[in-house]
Amino acid sequence: MIVIAVGANLAADGFETPLATCEAAVARLAVEPSVTILARSRWYVSEPVPVSDQPWYVNGAIRVSSTLDAKALLERLHAIEAWFGRVRRVRNEPRPLDLDLIDHHGQVRDGHDGGPILPHPRAQERAFVLLPLAEIAPGWRHPVTGVGVEELIAALPPGAPAIRPLAAG
């Protein structure tokens, strides 16, 4: 199973809202010859992590199949982010698009070979990853700990950054 988290709290140039940017990014991924979207979550709005005065995020997740290995897929995701105007300067800064590779077939990688760290190192701590993930992969288990997504959600600390489904329309 391959899972990608999608998020934004700024509108990319040419788009009116972060939601429109996220929708366009998923549509862009859908036309990649090496990627097939199998499932997508609904959209959520979430408080920035760490909590700050920047705009709230729109977040979701997609489950895909791909002929790309983890490193090549992450490079493709970064290229799409750049196309939407993402420039990586400071960690946790506002951004027009964030595409995170959360899981790639249960691989566990430390990133020392230049490839991605897998599973995503903070996925299990973040409601904005776990809630959409539970929708598209309810049986998902963390590749390192073996803990299921529903258990991870239940273990989120009280007072964690706020998240809610985005109202339709």
Q: Among residues 64, 35, 77, which one has the least CA distance to residue 136? A: 64
Q: Which of 63, 86, 103, 126 is catalytic?
A: 86
51 conformational bin, left if phi > 0, alpha if psi -120 to 50, beta if neither: beta
Ranges of H-type helices in 31-164: 70-83, 127-136, 149-154
Residue type, 65: S
Q: Which of 40, 63, 76, 95 is catalytic?
A: 95
Catalytic status, residue 95: yes
C-beta separation of 63 from 100 below 8 A? no
Catalytic status, residue 100: yes
Residue type, 22: C
| Joined tokens for residue 18 | 């972060």
Residues contacting 49, CB < 8 A, separation 6+: 92, 126, 128, 161
Q: Which of 63, 100, 103, 126 is catalytic?
A: 100
Collapsed DSSP state (helix, strand, coil) of residue 113: coil
Catalytic status, residue 141: no
Q: Which of 40, 63, 76, 98 is catalytic?
A: 98
Active-site residue numbers? 86, 95, 98, 100
